Structure 1
Amino acid sequence: MLLLRLRPCLAAVVCLFAAQSSFVALASPIPGVAPEQPWQVKGYVSYLGSMVAPEQGDKLWDGLLHNRIDAEYRWQRVRVNVGLRNRLMAGDTTSLPGYGDLISRDPGYWELSANWLESGDWIGNSQLDRAYLSWQFDDKWELTTGRFRVNWAMSTLWNPNDIFNAYSIYDVDYPERRGVDAIKLSRQLGYASQLELVYSQGDDGLTPVNAERTNRQYAGRYLGHSVLGDDIFGYNLGWDWQLIIGETRDDRVFGGGFAGDLWGAGLRGELSYFDPIDDSGRARLSPELSNSQRLTQTQAQDKMQPQALRASTVATLEMDYSFASEANWRLLGAALYISSPVAVDSALLYLNLPLSARTLSFTTWTYYLDVGFDITPLSRLSSNASYYDDGSFFVGVTYQYSLADDWQLSLIAQRFDGSTASLFGQSASTLGYLQLKWSF
């Protein structure tokens, strides 16, 4: 049944692969010769088949054909980057009322997303999620403007310092993450030290706490590097650290983070304090398409309720260790603390929130564990789990197999569940994904 419904998607994969193979063949350098070129084009084509099986309700089957193209052109001191997402989707979810409007919605200042197909249960969309210019001047200065990702993360899982680009840890088909429309000024101060100032403007349709304020954010970061002793117990302790200060559309933000290596294990942490600009104001949480469990426009508007903001501290600590073995075992553990978590009464709503750095979880404490190893030189198995202190939990398993140098097959299973009174337990569900990806 699913194969019949998704046969057009598979045909599109073959056609797009053939077209782009011809393009790449023409642009590829001669083997053994690597001349310097001022431009670069790369990307991928992937097909993602998904299934959502709630304990109460019907199963949802969907297919997504995803093409990404990243292009860069370089001059001596100027660089232009453009990233384009093309998506063709069909299935049970796409036939829901208002789903096409949610797909085409662009939260940035510029409307760079458009649906080019809306027919029955078929939706086609293209979006420029990267479009920026970088200019280096006076050797130590750089100015970046346009739509790009402001990566202020020190940790690899939860990022309280990432006030511009927070994302869902459960997303399986958008590794690049969304960008923001911003201007960034950077100044190199020395070895591994840097000062950055960022101003970002978003869609004013997203109502901030104070209706008189616009949807903008600005912040500064100081990135430094310190060596805590030349030789402590036979180990050199060199650490990167940062301090941030700024203002989001709702809060004044102060924070910091660090990353280092401790006896072979990576240790990282971040902390941010969010102080509401208007204590009497109320923020409306607006949903975003970040998970296969989707909300329609009507459902989202019905479920969104304004919430009074309180000062909140968000902090995370994580550690990972890679074992020297043929199987390349890797273990990662992390904890997240939020002093004033957002109140959410629906798992479906939470999984579709834009998840700012303030709303990384819905409970005070959240824990995460990930373990992975190579089954063979061409295949890897990893498993992860998260636990929320209301009794909710998530368990996921991912199997990856390298079919060729540029081809990869992934099988993913996810389970959201918990105690009867927990958020995930009230709407337990199982998700399954099959992804075939070709990179060029």
Structure 2
Amino acid sequence: MIRKTALLLLILCSAGTYAQDEPEKTELKGYVKLLGSHNYFNEDYIPPFLDGLFPASYQDYQIHNRFDFKYYPSPQWSFGVGMRNRLFWGHSVSNEPLPGQPGLYQLLDRDNGLVDLSFLYFDSDAVLLHTIFDRLWGQWESSKWIVRLGRQRINWGINTVWNPNDIFNQYNYFDFDYEERPGSDALRVQYFPNFKSTLELGFAPAKQTGQSVAGMLYKTNRWQYDFQFLAGYYKEDLTAGTGWAGSIKGIGFKGEANYYFPLQEEGESNFTGSTALDYLFHFGLYAQLSYLYNGLGAAEPGLFNFASLGANQVQGPKNIFPFKHTLFTQAGYTITPLFRADAGVMFTPDLKNIILFPTLSYSLTENLDALLVLQHFISQNPLENDNVEWLSGTVFGRLKYSF
């Protein structure tokens, strides 16, 4: 497997050299990142059965390399390949996971697509090396049609944080290091009858037929608003939804919602909906406010409610977030052309959960960027009479070189 991957990398790099002579035919881009994290945990939250198993703090590191290659043999045809290579070391590699929780090896060594394109070269007590191809597609297009087959991202979402309409490719908002977001092994057909409307069909088969996903989406524009309507099948549920994007007196206003109808008696119906307002002030400050309702969200505080928000984990669109009611607000400001600061807060009013995540980014050179991120979690402590205390947090530092 290592020889095959090395051969593919050689082909991609050779294609990038050839692209200098015929840039209209091929395109190669990517990046290399160094990401370090310091994780800390409030020992008051550790239950007796985990005493001694959970460290108060630990560090993890990874080198993340990505290649994206595209080939355009003609105006109608194009092909794309995208791959992630990540080398991990630190506490999560050298130590066993908590009882009942998946370890890093288990989180990485799975591919939910029809074809397994995830490869773990070795897993030792020191390092772990993983490669996954998250894009592998061919596309044909004309003036009114686009047909794409293969591993791709079918993005039907509208909002920035939560996307109930995105039945094919949900993503984890807290996994900021994965800008491209996951893909699906799917067929996507887009038809453009006029400049205001689009009709889409998507189908992502699964190894177990009942776990397949299929949908139809219609987009149109009326009254200076973009509207969309969708219906489909999602893993033994029928689903229908709608979304919109427009503005009210210069304030951006958008939202989306889906309802799920179970086809099995033991299944649960659910409604998820999110809406958002955003505004760019004249002096450069950007602000947004969002709300999410998830009918299947947790109604009581729990120590592991945040567990599904970690990197390499993605919840499905039917149960899109761990909590029933969640508010999100964010503000961002470009201090200088090279330096930007953002601050976000999530709050669940019924459970008193708070998530803080400020970020600082700085452009060191044309192709080199630095990023500092904090994700800090506050919740009720069932071991301390439900007192609201800080639970855990992670400080991330990252350098990214793009090419």
TM-score (norm 1): 0.78
Tell me if the contact between 1:85 and 1:127 (Cα under 8 Å) persists in the aligned partners.
Answer: yes
Residue number among 172, 175, 187 corresponding to 1:168 in the alignment: 172
Partner in structure 2 of residue 415 of structure 1: 376
- The SS at the match of 2:210 is coil
Residue 203 to residue 67, structure 1, CA distance change in 2 (3 Å): farther
Distance apart, 1:271 and its partner CA: 0.8
Measured after TM superposition, the shift of residue 361 of structure 1 is 2.1
**Could you tell me which residue of structure 1 aligns to residue 76 of structure 2?**
77
Equivalent residue number for residue 272 of structure 2: 314
AA aligned to 1:171 is D
Q: 1:104 to 1:427 in 2, by over 3 A?
A: farther
The answer to whether structure 1 residue 398 and structure 2 residue 359 are counterparts is: yes
Q: 1:135 aligns with which of 132, 140, 159?
A: 140
Say which SS state the counterpart of residue 214 (structure 1) adopts.
helix
Given residue 86 of structure 1, which amino acid in structure 2 is its aligned partner?
A: N
Change (3 A) 1:348 1:329: closer
Match of 2:159 in 1: 155
Alpha-carbon distance change, 192 to 73 in structure 1, aligned in 2, over 3 angstroms: farther
- SS of 1:347's partner is coil
Alignment-derived partner of residue 354 in structure 1: 314
Q: 1:434 — aligned with what?
A: 397
Give the equivalent residue in structure 1 for 2:340: 380
Equivalent pair of 1:347/1:427 in contact (CA under 8 Å): no
Given candidates 327, 335, 346, the residue that maps to 1:367 is 327
CA contact (8 A) 1:88 1:123 kept: yes
Q: CA deviation at 1:76?
A: 1.8
Aligned to 2:246: 260
Tell me how far 1:24 sits from its aligned partner: 10
Q: Distance in 2 between matches of 1:434 and 1:218?
A: 39
CA contact (8 A) 1:259 1:267 kept: yes
Could you give the per-residue CA deviations for residues 240-269 of structure 1, whole angstroms, max 9, x where no partner exists? 110000010131100000011333222110
**Deviations along 1:321-371, whole A, 9 cap, x unmatched?**
11122xx21001100112332578413533255311122223321100000
**Residue number in structure 2 paired with 1:108:** 113
Contact residue 94 and residue 124 of structure 2 kept, 8 A: no
- Partner residue of 1:65? 63
How far apart in 1 are the matches of 2:260 and 2:268? 8
Structure 1 position 417, deviation (Å): 0.9
CA RMSD in angstroms comes to 2.4
* 1:20-59 matched pairs, under 5 angstroms: 36-56=23-43, 57-59=55-57
Secondary structure of residue in 1 paired with 2:168: coil
The code of the aligned residue for 1:338 comes to: N
The count of aligned residue pairs is 367
- 8 Å CA contact 2:158, 2:255 repeated in 1: yes
- Cα distance in 1 for partners of 2:252, 2:36 equals 35
* Matched-pair contact (CA < 8 Å) for 2:19–2:25: no
Change (3 A) 1:121 1:347: farther
Does the 8 A contact of 1:341 with 1:364 survive in 2?
Answer: yes
Q: In the alignment, residue 153 of structure 1 is paired with which amino acid?
A: G
Partner of 2:47: none
Q: Distance in 2 between matches of 1:321 and 1:265?
A: 5
1:255 match: secondary structure: strand
Structure 1 counterpart of 2:94:
95
- CA–CA distance in structure 2, aligned partners of residues 149 and 252 of structure 1: 21
Contact 1:347–1:424 (Cα < 8 Å) also in 2: no
Counterpart amino acid of residue 61 in structure 1: Q
* Gaps in structure 2 of 5+ consecutive residues: 1-9, 44-54, 97-102
Instruction: Give the letter aligned to residue 352 of structure 2.
Output: G
The alpha-carbon deviation at position 166 of structure 1 amounts to 1.1
Aligned partners of 1:322 and 1:336: how far apart in 2?
22
Taking a change above 3 Å as real, the CA distance of residues 376 and 27 of structure 1, as seen in their structure-2 partners, is: farther
**Once the two structures are aligned, what percentage of the paired residues are identical?**
28
Q: What does 1:215-364 correspond to in 2, within 5 Å?
A: 215-226=211-222, 228=223, 238-280=224-266, 309-325=267-283, 328-341=284-297, 345=302, 346-352=304-310, 354-364=314-324
Q: Is the 8 A contact 1:331 1:371 kept in 2?
A: yes
Compared with structure 1, are the counterparts of its residues 152 and 178 closer, same or farther at alpha carbon in structure 2 (3 Å cutoff)?
A: same
Partner SS for 2:364: strand
What's the CA shift string for 1:82-121, capped at 9, x where partnerless? Answer: 1010001100001234532431211111100101232222
- Hey, what's the Cα distance between the residues in 1 that align with 2:18 and 2:225? 41
CA contact (8 A) 1:109 1:202 kept: yes
Q: Give the aligned partner of residue 13 of structure 1.
A: none
Structure 1 residue 313, shift from structure 2 partner: 1.1
